[in-house]
Amino acid sequence: MKPQGIPPTTTINQTKMSFRGKNAVVTGGAGGIGLQVSKQLLSAGAAVAIIDLQDNLEEFVKLRAAHPTQSVMIIKMDVANKKGVEATYEEIAKTFGNIDIVVNVAGIFNDKDVQRTLLVNLGGIINSTLSALPYMGKDNGGKGGIVVNMSSVVGLDPMFIIPVYGATKAGIINFTRCLANEKYYQRSGIKFATVCPGATMTDMFTNFTEKIIFPETSDETYRILDRLNKQSAADVSRCILNVLEKDKNGAVYVIEGKRVYPLEIKPQWTGKEQAL
């Protein structure tokens, strides 16, 4: 899965002070990669609001106990619920005053449930991102900031066993790159980046073969999964903080083997007019 011809970054060097005093929102923060991102941001000095439909009371208690002087908001909300997400961001903005960082991680895997997969994986990213903009943009009284949306390597390179999931991840890349238009950045002060992790050990893919739409591929699916080099959610979260530190508008990164690789995506449509 490692992109060819792209040199890896150097070993991750976290500068925790860069996040001190920042206000961050993490969707999908109740478990997996999202929970690890929340922990990393809190350890680096940020206040964190977690948006998730799932409950993880034990971990939330630990977060608050470990960071008693920092704000930790927990909001139970389905990211597929547009109106609910909008109201959630209004609540967060009232509590925090401003929003500096958004990391959209929330997602599911169930190719058999096409509508739910589309609504959560792609719709949820869109809902969260667009709901955050009024509270971040300099053109609306905000301070600017950065939004990092989590896609996947299967959004870059097709994997035949998960076409629905892969389609949502491809959509995330395009959506995020569209918002990274320089004209919009000059007006809003908001940067956008996309991260594409490789195989990562999370609970999302439990009972994997029961959620694929072509059951006849089960044997091949297991062989593919066994061959993949897997990384932990904590590994990916450290890389995401590294991406936040890079603060590069429009960037797309692959996270593979506990390292961050910048990806160069060249224009394919040569006939389009220049951006307005």
- Residue 222: phi and psi, rounded to 5, are -60, -40
Which of 135, 165, 184, 261 is catalytic? The answer is 165
Q: Which residues fall within 8 angstroms of residue 141, CB to CB, at 6 or more apart? A: none
- Name residue, tokens 């470990």: 66
CA 113 to chain centre: 21
Angle at 227 between CA 225 and CA 232, to 5 degrees: 70
Complete edge-to-edge strand list for the sheet that includes strand 145-150: 72-76, 47-52, 23-27, 101-104, 145-150, 190-197, 252-256, 259-263
Q: Which helix (H) or strand (E) holds 39?
A: helix 32-43
**3 state SS for 63-109:** HHHHCCCCCEEEEECCCCCHHHHHHHHHHHHHHHCCCCEEEECCCCC
DSSP tag of 211: S
- Beta-carbon contacts of residue 34 (< 8 Å; ≥ 6 apart): 26, 27, 28, 50, 52, 103, 105, 106
89 catalytic, yes or no?
no
* Dist CA 151 CA 130 (whole Å): 17
CA dist., res. 201 & res. 249, Å (int): 28
Active site residues: 165
